[in-house]
């Protein structure tokens, strides 16, 4: 059992970090509004150094980099914000502006009907958000089920019964969607190219055949790692190798 003074020490430590992060965020906002974008970025990075991660923080950090015309970092932080809040339309909108600055125009593989459904519905929430929704629907089911037996009157009972059926159905759907999102999240390892230009080779060495070239801000999926090299796949299905210092992983929270 933890001693009371240890619990209090941890509590006050967390409280101090919270207060420090709030102060840094206010300073960053002030610097951003005054056009001091590099200064704002420095404040946001200090917050990240305190192990604070949020969609709002990454979104603001991306905006500051975008104002400086830094393609790679702006796309990178918009994408990280989107991982934490996949349904946010403002993040998606700003990300599209940042993507318009990059040089690579890669045609995506045509989507299947399931892929279109997935992106339009399931991908609107992260897997933990779907899980929270499932818990909420289960709670609503229990409440409405109890009300069905406690209420008097046919109309009230009917409403409670329908609510319980709808909530348990939405709970099951949310569980399935949470599982799909979890599987999708586990299968993908996205990254953003940070180098101005990098040559993709057929094998993990500089002597192998050069296949194509990528530029700053392009999103790739990392398939495997061998030493200091990463095998990646781009949106049109092409694969190849590049030195790992040319990209930054998006899931490095």
**Stretch 128-140: mean pLDDT, rounded?**
95
User: Does residue 16 register a pLDDT over 90?
Assistant: no
Task: Summarize pLDDT for 168-190 with one digit per residue, the tens.
Answer: 999 999 999 999 988 888 889 99
In this prediction, residue 49 carries a pLDDT of 85
**Stretch 145-164: mean pLDDT, rounded?**
90
Lowest mean pLDDT among 3-7, 64-68, 170-174: 3-7
How far apart CA 240 and CA 229 sit, in angstroms, is 10
What percentage of the chain reaches a pLDDT higher than 70? Answer: 92
pLDDT band at 34 (very low <50, low <70, confident <90, very high): very high
In this prediction, residue 19 carries a pLDDT of 63
**Stretch 120-138: mean pLDDT, rounded?**
91
User: Does residue 25 register a pLDDT over 60?
Assistant: yes
pLDDT band at 194 (very low <50, low <70, confident <90, very high): very high
């Amino acid at each position: 059992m933890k001693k009371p003074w240890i619990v209090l020490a941890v509590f006050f430590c967390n409280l101090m970090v919270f207060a420090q992060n709030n102060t840094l965020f206010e300073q960053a906002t002030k610097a951003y509004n005054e056009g001091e974008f590099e200064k704002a970025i420095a404040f946001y990075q200090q917050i990240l150094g305190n192990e604070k991660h949020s969609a709002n923080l990454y979104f603001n950090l991306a905006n500051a980099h975008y104002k400086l015309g830094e393609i790679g970092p702006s796309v990178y932080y918009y994408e990280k914000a989107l991982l934490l809040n996949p349904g946010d339309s403002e993040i998606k909108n700003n990300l599209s502006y940042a993507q318009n600055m990059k040089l690579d125009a890669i045609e995506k593989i045509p989507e299947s009907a399931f892929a279109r459904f997935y992106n339009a519905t399931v991908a609107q929430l992260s897997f933990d958000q779907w899980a929270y929704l499932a818990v909420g629907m289960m709670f609503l089911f229990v409440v409405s089920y109890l009300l069905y037996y406690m209420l008097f009157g046919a109309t009230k009972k009917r409403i409670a019964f329908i609510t319980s059926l709808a909530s348990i159905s939405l709970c099951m759907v949310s569980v399935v969607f949470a599982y799909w999102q979890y599987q999708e999240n586990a299968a993908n390892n996205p990254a953003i190219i940070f180098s101005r230009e990098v040559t993709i080779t057929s094998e993990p060495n500089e002597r192998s055949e050069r296949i194509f070239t990528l530029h700053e801000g392009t999103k790739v999926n990392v398939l495997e790692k061998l030493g200091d090299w990463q095998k990646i796949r781009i949106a049109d299905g092409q694969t190849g190798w590049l030195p790992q210092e040319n990209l930054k992983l998006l899931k490095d929270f």
